[in-house]
Amino acid sequence: MASASEDSVAKQARTNFGFNVFSTMGELKDLEYESWTNWKHDVEFILALMDLDLALLEPKPTKPTHTSSPEEKAKYEKWERSNRISLMLMRSKMANQVRSFVPQSDEAKQYFAGIEKLVLQFEKHSSQLLYGKFWKVKYDIGEGNNVAERIFEMCSVADRLRVCGQEIPDELLMEFVLLSLPSQFDHVRISAAADGWKLNDVIAECSRWEKYLRQQNKFKMNV
């Protein structure tokens, strides 16, 4: 069992690492979905690492009175510190033009949720553009693209559409992925339909076949 001094050293190490991550963390410069998800991940990671995420997870507890137990008083003090530092962190890593849009709140959990609500509102307004992007994702081995990256891009767009409330069943996503492939991958379409492949199966076979095609092309160039 770890001693109190060992626990203190480990906690200090996590805190120092959290500060290091914070120092390299980028600002939230716009309300674009991908920017927000990266920023959100950094905020949650840093606060969890430093054991300061209580105010993001729980609403404000009732203020202790003289009859409150020591545990209740300690939890309230921990929440207050978490709330104060969480708000400071978020506001310090947010561009002025974004901060002006965010509804003000003295509680980190509500402030965090307010940013997410704004992002999702902007995302819903751009859902038609996302649909266009979804349809335009095509794969062309001649352009030096990576087939797995293209498929992951389609999955990312589909997830964003789902966040906007659009229904994108897995079967439809699979159909779009297969349609995006060029004729060199016709055997993938046939096998996927015949054998009931999952998306991971399609990615694995496309990656294998793509490597083979590139090797063949390289061989022809060297002949």
Instruction: State the amino acid at position 53 in one-letter form.
Output: D
Nearest-angstrom CA–CA distance, 186 and 35: 36
Work out the burial of residue 177: count CB atoms within 10 Å of its CB; fewer than 13 is exposed, 13-18 middle, 19 or more buried.
buried
**Cα 36 to Cα 19, 117, 179, 189, 203, distances in angstroms:** 20, 11, 30, 35, 27
pTM (2 decimals)?
0.63
* HSE-CB of 13 using CA atoms within 13 angstroms: 6
Estimate to the nearest angstrom the gap between the alpha carbon of 174 and the chain centroid: 22
Q: What is the pLDDT of residue 197?
A: 92
Crossing angle (nearest 10°) for helices 108-125 and 70-92: 40
Which pair of structure tokens corresponds to residue 73? 């008083």
Q: What are the b/e assignments for 44-59, b being 16+ CB within 10 Å?
A: eebbebbebbbbbeee
Q: Hey, where are the domains in the chain? A: 4-125, 127-222
Phi, psi for residue 135 in degrees, rounded to 5: -75, -25
With a cut of 70, list the residues of the chain below it in pLDDT: 1-7, 10-11, 125-145, 218-223
Handedness of CA 135, 141, 146, 151 (dihedral sign): positive
Q: Which residues contact 59 (CB under 8 A, 6 or more apart)?
A: 107, 109
Q: For residues 161 and 131, is the Cβ–Cβ distance under 8 A?
A: yes
